[in-house]
Every structure is written in C-alpha cells, then in structure tokens.
Amino acid sequence: MKKTYAKKLFLLFILLSFVLTTCGIGQFFFIPQVPENRINHTEVNVRVHMDLPTIIAPAIGYVIFYRIYLSDHFTSADLRDSGPERILVNPALNADFNHFFPFVDPANQTNFPNLRTFELRNYFTLEWSVGAATNSLLPAGTFYIDFSYIDGRHPTLQQVNSVGAPISPERVLLRYISSLFESEPDRYFLHTPEMAEELDHPNRVNSDVVFPSAAADPATLRHAYVSMYIVAIGTNPIDFSTIMSKATHLGIFKLPSAF
C-alpha cells in the first residue's frame, strides 16, 4: 500500500513538472535593465550619452519608446527632477512620468513592462534612418541622441567610440508610422503647426502627440517636448512572446522648431 502511494506521488510530481515546464509556469527569463549610471545628460533637455551594456540572451537589442507633448510653456529646467515644471509643460507629461516610475525603479522587482505598457500610454517605437531604410533596434555600444536647439536641424542618433569620436554617420530620428497611423506633416522630430492635426483626426494622425488640454489653442502651443524610455528586448524561448527589461528613462528633450 505504501509503495503504491509513493508511486502515485512520484507520478504526480513528474506530471506537474512536465506541465510547469511546457507551460512556462514558474519560469522567468530575466533581462538586465540599462543602469541609470550608463545614461548621462551632456546638455540638459538637449543631448544624452548612452553607454549600452553587452547584450545577454534572451535579449537581442535595445528599443526606445517616445511620446511628444505640445506646450505653451518654455523651460530650461531639468524636467526629470521637477514635477511642478512637468505639469506646467503638459499635465500628461507628469502623469505619464509617474505612471512609468514603477517600471523604471530598480528597487521594484515586480513591475516589468511589455509592449502594452507603452501602447496604453500612446508611447511608440523610435526609428532612425539608415540610408533609404529605417531601423529601431540598437546594439550594445555608446551613442548620442542630440536635440540641439537649431531651428530646422533634425535631431539625430550617432554611435561613438570610448573617447567620443564618431564611428558611424549621424542617423536622423524618425517618428513611428504604420498602416493605421500617420505622422503629420512628416516623420521628423521637429515642432511644426501641423502637429495640431491630432485634434481633427483622433487615433489616426499624430497619435504620438498629446495636447496640454482639450481646450488648448493650437496657435499658442509654440513648444514641444519628447520623453523617451529605453528597454532591452528579447524573446521568451518557451512561448516566443516578447519580453523586456525594466525601462530606463532617457530624459525629456525639447524639439527644435521647424518654423
């Protein structure tokens, strides 16, 4: 009787182990977060230096998510550190910043982002030009993102070596587009009057742009800012779903003006 009971327990253990393994239950594939000390603002709200660590499987690279905030408020304050200043720029900027904090905080090991985490806040994948093509996946290495305040100058991404010398051409940053989503008047990260087209075509044109309020007069929105988060991204080898590291906030940058 005891042998039969023990045999049943053993078989039950084998069955549970098989279910847990095949379903992926209890298996968590950890992708390291980009440490905050790898992100350095060489010019506040303008230029950021990223030293991205070696990629460890199951990660395949790094992806940046962004959202653009229109505003009637100009500031040179570091918007990462001032909630009141973020509210003056655009209340949605501060709401999003606070929403993402648990997904950024290294001490919080329960909140990990996924694609829906960003989609639900209208954050989209940053792209950049590579000749006639585009890319959205960064390798390990050292990069600058530059939003210099020069009217008409396109913000760029560039890879550099350990002493800051360029090792690749400047890549022009591009806003996200898809078959269901358009960027007006074009894909560039330049502040233009056409960004106000969001009001006329909700959820189709300029969904990556948010107004400070529904009553805001587009004519007064003379400034635009973009907030960016970076994650390491990979594939779960059990169910082939997309998995991510915790996010790291790259900063909030002022868009150059096209007018």
Confidence band (pLDDT; 50, 70, 90) for 30? Answer: confident
Rounded to the nearest integer, the mean pLDDT of the chain is 86
- In 3D, which of 95, 67, 59 has the Cα closest to residue 251? 67
Give the pLDDT confidence score for residue 8 in this predicted structure. Answer: 46
pLDDT score for 17? 42
Kindly state the average pLDDT of the residues 189-194: 90
Residue-wise burial string across 222-245, b where 16 or more C-beta atoms lie within 10 A, e elsewhere: ebbbbbbbbbbbbeeeeeeeebbb
Task: Name the percent of the chain lying above pLDDT 90.
Answer: 64
Reported pTM: 0.87
Residue 9 predicted with pLDDT over 90: no
What is the mean predicted confidence (pLDDT) over 196-225? 82
The DSSP result for 20-61, as a single string, is HHHHTTT-----PPPPGGGEEEEETTTEEEEEEPPP-TTEEE
Residue 2: pLDDT above 50? no
- pLDDT for 52-110, tens place per residue? 999 988 999 999 999 999 999 999 999 999 999 999 999 999 999 999 999 999 999 88
* Mean pLDDT within 203-219: 87
Q: pLDDT digits over 97-140, tens only?
A: 999 999 999 999 889 999 999 999 999 999 999 877 899 999 99
Q: What is the pLDDT of residue 12?
A: 42
pLDDT band at 166 (very low <50, low <70, confident <90, very high): very high
pLDDT of residue 10: 42
DSSP-assigned states of every residue in 188-224 = BS-B-GGGGGGGTSTTTBSTTEE-S-TT--GGG--EE
Predicted pLDDT of residue 105: 96
Residue 138: the pLDDT is: 97
Phi-psi region of 203 (alpha: psi -120 to 50; beta: other; left: phi over 0): left
- Mean pLDDT computed over 127-154: 89
* Whole-number pLDDT of residue 179: 74
Q: pLDDT at position 109, please?
A: 86
Q: Give the model's pLDDT for residue 240.
A: 86
Return the amino acid letter for 201: H
Q: Would the pLDDT of 181 be above 90?
A: no
Task: Report whether 45 contacts 81 (CB < 8 A).
Answer: no
